[in-house]
Amino acid sequence: MNLRNDAFQKAEEKFLIAANSFIIIMPEYNGSYPGILKLLIDNSDVAPCWHNKKVLLVGVSTGRAGNLRGMEHLTGSLLHLKMLVHYNRLPISVVHSLFDEAGNPNNSLSTMIEQHVAEFLEF
């Protein structure tokens, strides 16, 4: 399925080609990463969108593994795209329990994310 219409190409130029690094926060989907992310990658102009760009991965799940398997699957795909994947991938497990009733993250989640992003900025 090719979705490379004018709207896609404009979004690709604005968000993918213009970026020099990415933070991908992905929910667990059937034990891997979401198909819509694969569709985005498959329909993009690979070299200008992905080659030699840095990427930080965060896996999110309501279960206990924090989408470790999905991050591993995606890492293989990103390395094939010649991306520089940060060595420390952050699995966030039982994500529903890490927010208060107003939707704010608890202190441990905030600290984890701040440390992870700080590492990535030095990468």
Helices 68-80/35-43 angle, 10° precision: 10
Domain, as residue range, for 112:
17-122
Question: How much is the pTM?
Answer: 0.89
Residue 8 maps to a domain: no
Return per-residue pLDDT of the chain as tens, 123 residues. 567 789 999 999 999 999 999 999 999 999 899 999 999 999 999 999 999 999 999 999 998 889 999 999 999 999 999 999 999 999 999 998 999 999 999 998 999 999 999 999 999
Residue 6 maps to a domain: no
Residue 4 maps to a domain: no
Residue 89 maps to a domain: yes
Residue 101 maps to a domain: yes
Give Dmax over CA atoms of the chain in angstroms: 43
Domain count, the chain: 1
pLDDT for position 64: 86
Q: How far apart are CA 55 and CA 84, in angstroms?
A: 6
Residue 12 maps to a domain: no
CATH number at residue 78: 3.40.50.360
Residue 112 maps to a domain: yes
pLDDT for position 36: 93
Residue 37 maps to a domain: yes
Q: How far apart are CA 108 and CA 87, in angstroms?
A: 21
93 phi, psi to nearest 5 deg: -95, 165
